[in-house]
């Protein structure tokens, strides 16, 4: 149920990987520890706003016209009373649902506090509810994020981890990438001794279309530092998270 996320951005090009695999018979197998450590994400993916102020974008009128076209495509009459304002409403909803593209994750984690009285255990926030949109079908997936980190001298405000989750969730996503981005941002900005992130979510692209399996949950997890290297800390984190599932 709890698996380390595979590398999303391999550190070497495809040709190099092919060359390595061709010569693998003559090499000793890599250690399990090395294989388990995922490649780091490019910091530009998770530290800055995803949309720059000068990035060319369609106008609001063009976006509303696109919704008009989609209404025609499904066989509707965009001019009937119930749909006349739908293009405007859809674009306004997009502005809200995808506001994470315009927000900077690093700024959310920027303010920390040093009044910890020597606290040296991990901090866990569980059951952070979120809603995101699947990048494959643009349909919602929603659930809970559980986040822990072991601070070094300074801690971040508790609400900031929930805000960080929302910033990444309010973009087109896969659950795997969402999990990796949250962990990478905390690891890069706070420089803790370790980070643990687990996300459980239901995907409507699976529950209301396709195989239509309502209630099926997907679990993803990402561990860095002491959580990655110490199985006992992983187990303690998972035990505390599961304690909430009564």
Show the tokens assigned to 238. 């998972």
Please tell me the predicted confidence (pLDDT) of residue 28: 45
Which pLDDT score is estimated for 39?
A: 59
So what's the pLDDT on residue 87? Answer: 98
Q: What is the number of domains present in the chain?
A: 1
The confidence score (pLDDT) of residue 4 equals: 39
Which 8-state DSSP code applies to residue 4?
Answer: B
| Active-site annotation holds for 104 | no
Which three-class secondary structure state does DSSP give residue 242?
helix
Q: Does residue 195 lie in a domain region?
A: yes
List beta partners, residue 221. Answer: 4, 198
Write down the pLDDT at residue 153. Answer: 86
- DSSP bridge partners of 112: 156
Catalytic residue (choose from 12, 99, 136, 153): 136
| 245 and 9 Cβ atoms separated by less than 8 Å | no
Assigned domain for 173 exists: yes
Catalytic residue among 133, 188, 200, 203: 203
In-domain check, residue 126: yes
Residue 14 lies in a domain: no
Query: For residue 152, is it within any domain?
Result: yes
Q: Check: CB of residue 165 under 8 Å from CB of residue 127.
A: no
CA–CA separation, 202 vs 99, rounded Å? 22
pLDDT of residue 22: 45
User: Which pLDDT value is given to residue 79?
Assistant: 97
**What is the extent of the structural domain holding 137?**
112-242
Q: 103, 133, 134, 234: which is the annotated catalytic residue? A: 134
Query: In the annotation, is 134 catalytic?
Result: yes
CATH of the domain at 202: 3.30.1130.10
The answer as to whether 219 is a domain residue is: yes
Helix (H) or strand (E) holding 237: helix 231-242
* Residue 203 located in a structural domain: yes
Question: How many residues are present in the chain?
Answer: 246
Instruction: Show pLDDT as tens, one digit a residue, over the chain (246 residues).
Output: 443 333 333 344 444 444 444 444 444 444 444 455 555 688 877 788 888 878 899 999 999 999 999 999 999 999 999 999 999 999 999 999 999 999 999 999 998 998 888 888 999 999 999 999 999 999 999 999 999 999 998 999 999 999 999 999 999 999 999 999 999 999 999 999 999 999 999 999 989 998 988 999 999 999 999 999 999 999 999 999 998 555
Whether 228 is in a domain gets the answer yes
pLDDT at residue 36 in the model: 52
**Is 214 an active-site residue?**
no
Catalytic position from the list 35, 92, 129, 135: 135
pLDDT at 245: 58
Contact, 122 vs 80, CB < 8 A?
no
């Amino acid at each position: 149920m709890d698996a380390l996320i595979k590398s999303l951005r391999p550190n070497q090009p495809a040709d190099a990987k092919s060359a390595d695999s061709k010569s693998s018979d003559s090499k000793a197998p890599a250690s399990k520890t090395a294989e388990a450590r995922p490649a780091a994400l490019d910091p530009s993916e998770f530290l800055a706003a995803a949309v720059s102020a000068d990035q060319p974008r369609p106008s609001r009128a063009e976006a509303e016209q696109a919704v008009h076209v989609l209404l025609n495509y499904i066989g509707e009459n965009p001019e009937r009373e119930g749909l006349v304002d739908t293009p405007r409403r859809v674009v306004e909803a997009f502005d809200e649902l995808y506001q994470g593209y315009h927000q900077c994750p690093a700024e959310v984690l920027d303010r920390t506090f040093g009044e910890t009285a020597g606290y040296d255990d991990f901090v866990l926030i569980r059951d952070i509810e979120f809603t995101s949109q699947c990048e494959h079908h643009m349909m919602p997936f929603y659930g809970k994020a559980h986040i822990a980190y072991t601070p070094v001298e300074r801690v971040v405000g508790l609400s900031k981890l929930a805000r960080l989750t929302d910033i990444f969730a309010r973009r087109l996503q896969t659950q795997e990438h969402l999990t990796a981005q949250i962990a990478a941002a905390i690891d890069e900005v706070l420089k803790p001794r370790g980070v643990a992130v687990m996300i459980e979510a239901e995907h409507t692209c699976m529950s209301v279309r396709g195989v239509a399996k309502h209630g099926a949950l997907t679990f993803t997890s990402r561990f860095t530092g002491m959580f990655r290297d110490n199985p006992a800390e992983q187990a303690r984190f998972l035990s505390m998270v599961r304690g909430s599932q009564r």
